């Protein structure tokens, strides 16, 4: 009962380069559906999908919901704060209760790394990781790959630098795995306190100075600096962070080539990225958001269906 991606999408570390390419190639025609007057196809008609969000999210949840609705699935949103989770129910009990109502897929965001895998091993429904702790955010990684590919073409040999709080970033991890599988060269840049101790084990270059990263890279993926990091003592102040690592137009103008600028959102303007860069001609940040819906449609489509027991019967009636 598994399609070309297997039962679940838990992280890009689990996927082959072929599977990643398949998702990106499938996402391309899905873009057109969102441009239609009637932005809907009947592909997932009759399927029920639960969006189970144990952390706040606007962009990712709405993007998944649009993707589900444009494929005609029925969707239910469960936010942890308003559910029986706040009464002490365990993750598995919550999911099993939902499954007892006959659902087909669960999209889960959870503050604990590994929660989606824990769930996937215990329920029959397809599980899609919408971000877990500091582990992975595979659909964000995929939409970043699609956006980069739209602008740079084949990513083999292209130089991409991830800037900022790599230590706590699931977006960074999914990007690194995905980019490396497609043959790109990956670097990270940020204060040492916000890079993992074993950063070299990720197989990436490390830049301590943003100027050097800008000189090297063809695209920057600028991570959000979570304001809590300052209170926790990782950086002295937001202003100093901006002064040393901020992506500013003055720094970009000094580079010998134009760089694509990506940001997974939500942005802290004036901290990790300046407004004139975020809104500038090389920013593809809104393109990322548009691609997010198409990539999620592709993932839903590729995870759905595919029951070999019925396939043999159906082959006799090939259209």
Partner 1 sequence: MPKPTTLLDARAIDRTLRRMADEIVELFGGTDDVVVVGIERRGVQLADRIVALIAKQEGVTVARGALDITLYRDDLQTVGPRPVVGRTQLPLTLDGKRVVIVDDVLYTGRTIRAALDELADFGRPARIALAVLVDRGGRELPIHADVVGRSVDVAPGQRVDVMLAEVDERDAVILADRDAA
List of residues contacting partner 1 (CB under 8 A): 3-4, 22, 25-26, 28-30, 32-33, 36-38, 40-44, 71, 301-302, 304-307, 310-311, 313-319
Strand partners, 205: 187
Nearest to partner 1 of 1, 232 (CB atom): 1
Nearest to partner 1 of 29, 236 (CB atom): 29
Nearest to partner 1 of 24, 176 (CB atom): 24
In whole angstroms, the minimum distance from the beta carbon of 138 to partner 1 comes to 18
In whole angstroms, the minimum distance from the beta carbon of 241 to partner 1 comes to 43
Nearest to partner 1 of 4, 266 (CB atom): 4
Nearest to partner 1 of 286, 310 (CB atom): 310
| CA 265 to chain centroid | 11
In whole angstroms, the minimum distance from the beta carbon of 319 to partner 1 comes to 4
Burial of 153 (0-12, 13-18, 19+ CB in 10 A): exposed
Q: CB neighbours (10 Å) of residue 35?
A: 8
In whole angstroms, the minimum distance from the beta carbon of 259 to partner 1 comes to 30
How big, in percent rounded to 5, are the helix, strand and coil portions of the chain? 45, 15, 40
Torsional class of 242: left (φ above 0), alpha (ψ -120 to 50), beta (otherwise) = alpha
The token pair that represents 254 in the structure block: 């000094």
Helix, coil or strand: residue 274: coil
Nearest to partner 1 of 1, 250 (CB atom): 1
| CA 202 to chain centroid | 18
In whole angstroms, the minimum distance from the beta carbon of 178 to partner 1 comes to 19
Helix axes 59-70, 285-303, angle to 10 degrees: 50
Q: Looking at the chain, how many residues does it have?
A: 319
In whole angstroms, the minimum distance from the beta carbon of 297 to partner 1 comes to 9
The token pair that represents 213 in the structure block: 């990263």
């Amino acid at each position: 009962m598994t399609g070309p991606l297997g039962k679940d999408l838990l992280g890009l570390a689990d996927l082959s380069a072929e599977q990643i390419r398949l998702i990106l190639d499938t996402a391309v025609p899905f873009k057109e559906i969102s441009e239609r007057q009637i932005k809907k196809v009947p592909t997932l008609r009759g399927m029920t999908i639960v969006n189970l969000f144990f952390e706040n999210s606007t962009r990712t949840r709405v993007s998944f919901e649009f993707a589900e609705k444009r494929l005609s699935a029925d969707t239910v949103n469960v936010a942890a704060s308003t559910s029986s989770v706040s009464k002490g129910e365990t993750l598995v009990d919550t999911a099993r209760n939902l499954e007892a109502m006959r659902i087909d897929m669960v999209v889960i965001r959870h503050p604990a790394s590994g929660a989606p895998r824990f769930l996937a091993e215990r329920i029959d429904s397809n599980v899609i990781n919408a971000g877990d702790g500091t582990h992975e955010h595979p659909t964000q990684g995929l939409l970043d790959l699609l956006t980069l590919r739209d602008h740079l073409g084949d990513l083999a040999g292209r130089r991409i630098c991830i800037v900022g709080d790599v230590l706590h970033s699931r977006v960074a991890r999914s990007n690194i795995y995905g980019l490396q599988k497609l043959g790109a060269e990956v670097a990270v840049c940020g204060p040492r306190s916000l890079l993992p101790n074993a950063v070299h084990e990720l197989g990436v270059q490390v830049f301590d100075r943003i100027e050097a990263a800008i000189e090297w890279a063809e695209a920057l993926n600028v991570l959000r600096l979570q304001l809590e990091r300052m209170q926790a003592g990782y950086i002295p102040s937001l202003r100093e962070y901006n002064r040393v690592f901020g992506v500013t137009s003055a720094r970009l103008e000094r580079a010998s080539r134009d760089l694509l600028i990506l940001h997974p959102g939500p942005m802290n303007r004036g901290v990790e990225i300046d407004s004139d860069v975020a809104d500038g001609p090389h920013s593809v940040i809104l393109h990322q958001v548009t691609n997010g819906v198409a990539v999620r449609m592709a993932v839903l489509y590729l995870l759905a269906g595919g029951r070999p027991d019925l396939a043999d019967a159906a082959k006799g009636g090939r259209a």
